[in-house]
Amino acid sequence: MVPRRGLRIDLVPRELHIVLICVSGAMLAVQADVASPVAVLVGFLLSVRVRIRRI
Protein backbone atom coordinates (compact mmCIF):
# COMPACT_ATOMS: atom_id res chain seq x y z
CA MET A 1 0.00 0.00 0.00
CA VAL A 2 1.10 3.53 -0.73
CA PRO A 3 1.05 5.93 2.24
CA ARG A 4 -1.31 8.84 1.76
CA ARG A 5 -0.44 12.43 2.45
CA GLY A 6 -2.51 14.27 4.98
CA LEU A 7 -2.67 16.98 7.58
CA ARG A 8 -1.99 16.81 11.27
CA ILE A 9 -3.78 19.43 13.35
CA ASP A 10 -2.59 19.92 16.94
CA LEU A 11 -4.55 22.00 19.46
CA VAL A 12 -2.26 22.91 22.36
CA PRO A 13 -3.65 24.94 25.30
CA ARG A 14 -1.91 28.24 25.89
CA GLU A 15 -0.45 29.21 29.24
CA LEU A 16 -3.16 31.79 29.92
CA HIS A 17 -5.45 31.86 32.91
CA ILE A 18 -9.03 30.85 32.19
CA VAL A 19 -10.21 34.14 33.69
CA LEU A 20 -8.37 36.15 31.00
CA ILE A 21 -9.91 34.03 28.26
CA CYS A 22 -13.44 34.40 29.65
CA VAL A 23 -13.07 38.15 30.13
CA SER A 24 -11.76 38.67 26.61
CA GLY A 25 -14.67 36.73 25.11
CA ALA A 26 -17.20 38.62 27.22
CA MET A 27 -15.67 42.00 26.33
CA LEU A 28 -15.79 41.14 22.64
CA ALA A 29 -19.45 40.18 22.87
CA VAL A 30 -20.37 43.39 24.71
CA GLN A 31 -18.23 46.00 22.94
CA ALA A 32 -18.47 44.75 19.36
CA ASP A 33 -22.11 43.63 19.64
CA VAL A 34 -21.18 40.15 18.43
CA ALA A 35 -23.39 37.08 18.81
CA SER A 36 -22.52 34.67 21.61
CA PRO A 37 -21.41 31.75 19.35
CA VAL A 38 -18.93 34.00 17.59
CA ALA A 39 -17.52 35.26 20.89
CA VAL A 40 -17.17 31.68 22.15
CA LEU A 41 -15.33 30.66 18.98
CA VAL A 42 -12.93 33.61 19.23
CA GLY A 43 -12.33 32.86 22.92
CA PHE A 44 -11.55 29.24 22.03
CA LEU A 45 -9.13 30.27 19.30
CA LEU A 46 -7.41 32.64 21.74
CA SER A 47 -7.04 29.88 24.32
CA VAL A 48 -5.37 27.29 22.07
CA ARG A 49 -2.35 27.27 19.80
CA VAL A 50 -3.20 25.65 16.47
CA ARG A 51 -0.42 23.85 14.61
CA ILE A 52 -1.06 22.46 11.15
CA ARG A 53 1.52 20.12 9.64
CA ARG A 54 1.68 18.13 6.45
CA ILE A 55 2.49 14.48 6.97
Rounded mean pLDDT, 26-54: 83
Which residues lie closer than 8 Å to 47 by C-beta, 6 or more apart?
A: 13, 14, 16, 18, 21
Rounded to two decimals, the pTM is 0.56
Percent of the chain residues topping a pLDDT of 90: 2
pLDDT tens digits for range 20-33: 777 877 887 888 88
**Residue 1 pLDDT > 70, yes or no?**
no
Mean residue pLDDT across the chain: 81
